Structure 1
């Protein structure tokens, strides 16, 4: 008993050693917990990512609280001693403060959560982790009309949330408004092609169109706005050099968007070649 009291007394009198022991213990518990949550899974599920993020944030917060309580007297003395240079410290730590406040802003506005697709500036991706300093996303190639992961992981400092608007693209995980265009250099009447193209597009979409209508309705109710609808849209515009630009818009499953685009391009080219054989040459 006396030995235990001596050890406790020694640790209390040597706070640095006690702090290192606390950090090591919490780090070990954190690592074991994360390993248990991950298990043998090759790919993490959304629920696993949420619990891993909660574990990391919880252990970090617990460690800060314990160390603050342990070193409270020293911190108070230090705070009093640096009053004269407080402004300089704030200026030097501006980015860190912005990251903390950006995290608070994100939490209070509930702009996104783990598993959501977001766009911040020119970066798009799925949120896989967020903490007090940064948000980590798996990059998705949306700006080139693609919806697949690039394999790149981007770490966004939370201060970016004050500089760039955060767009939540979560509904695009299942269905997306996919837009693409076909440029026709020759000035010919393309409107007679539309009925045939529309029938072919309907044939491509018939397996999911009913689900698309219901999902579109759910999004409209959730957003409170009137969206373009789930039916395919075709219209013609003009380019800068007078060429015709045929625009297509589909509301389709995200994982099928690129495949459907290629099928419709093929249908358009075949129909164009039938109607305007000389132009096609």
Structure 2
């Protein structure tokens, strides 16, 4: 009975607290408290992940993806709760802005596109933290996503990270083609283009390119074949073969292009391209000493990964 009486005596105080929280000052205090709580939760999760990484040697990309996903969930939840607290005032404010809604929509078009872009990026299962993507002229590894921007660790023409961090608006997903270069995992198909003049020894160049590619990939070709076979089976797609292949195309009446295609780990494509190109031109000039001067200057027109 004393326990019940205690709650009855406590009821007026509880009503006063709720009455205070329903006021503007109470809602402001609750909003600040929610934001501070979200910050503390994020810091705690960050500390837990750091503690886990000290105990084992994890995949950095997986932990980074976990951290970004949890952080976004906490902040979205906190913002939704704050909006729910102020829903009455927000509704009245929006109604008062109905007369200038059209102009407001035009002004905030870019912001709205960024929010929609954030939703598309978060729902796209192939775009994960650590994925290597190409957006317009920018290429890099996805390291962070937000409501307005996403961040890439820039990868330069040499296929190496430049040490710069690119912050790009999410609206780019509507205006630029976005290529996911790591959609099929840690292996990708790398292309190297060699340009020759009309004096090229086609069979010699092709045999040399295939030999160099096979030597470079002898440690992972079999594994890449199994990897692509598993991806084809799981995703119902047809992928190129992992073993090196050569294709020829005519650029114009004076130039032929040889494309060397082979599978390689995404992290090694820059080093492999540099090594293969250098060895190819050194050995090709030795095999074909009468090659016209300047032929080996037209080395690599382009290099892409698909």
Interval of TM-score (by shorter of Structure 1 and Structure 2): 0.7 to 0.9
Q: Is the 8 A contact 1:176 1:251 kept in 2?
A: yes
Tell me: CA distance 1:170–1:197, structure 2 relative to 1, closer, same or farther (3 Å): closer
Distance in 1, Cα, partners of 2:98 & 2:277? 68
Aligned to 2:141: 126
In the other structure, the counterpart of 2:265 is 253
* 1:95 aligned onto 2:107: no
Does residue 89 of structure 2 align to residue 74 of structure 1?
A: yes
Counterpart of 1:279 in structure 2 is: 291
| Residue pair 1:102, 1:162 contacting (<8 A) in 2 also | yes
Alpha carbons 2:199, 2:291 under 8 Å: kept: no
TM score, norm. by length of structure 2: 0.74
Query: What secondary structure, in the 3-state scheme, does the structure 2 residue paired with 1:113 have?
Result: coil
1:33 partnered with 2:33 = no
What is the match of residue 21 of structure 1?
A: 33
Deviations 1:112-160 (A, max 9, x none): 222322222222222222233332222223xx3x433222222232222
- In the TM superposition, 1:207-222 aligns within 5 A as 207-222=219-234
Matches of 2:270 and 2:65, distance apart in 1? 30
2:101 corresponding residue in structure 1: 86
* Residue 205 of structure 1, CA deviation: 2.6
CA drift of 1:210 comes to: 1.0
For structure 2, the residue ranges without an aligned partner over 5 or more in a row are 1-9, 294-306
CA positional deviation for 1:55: 3.0
Q: Tell me the matched-pair count.
A: 278
- Are 1:172 and 1:254, in contact at CA under 8 Å, matched by a contact in 2? no
Query: How big is each residue's C-alpha offset from its partner over 1:214-255, in whole Å with a ceiling of 9 and x where there is no partner?
Result: 123234335544333122122444444714443322222233
1:50 to 61, 65, 70: 65
1:177 corresponds to 2:192? no
Name the structure, 1 or 2, with higher relative contact order (CA <8 Å, separation 6+).
Answer: 2
The CA distance in 2 between the partners of 1:205 and 1:122, in whole Å, is 29
Q: Deviations over 1:253-279 (max 9, x none)?
A: 233334433443354335433443233
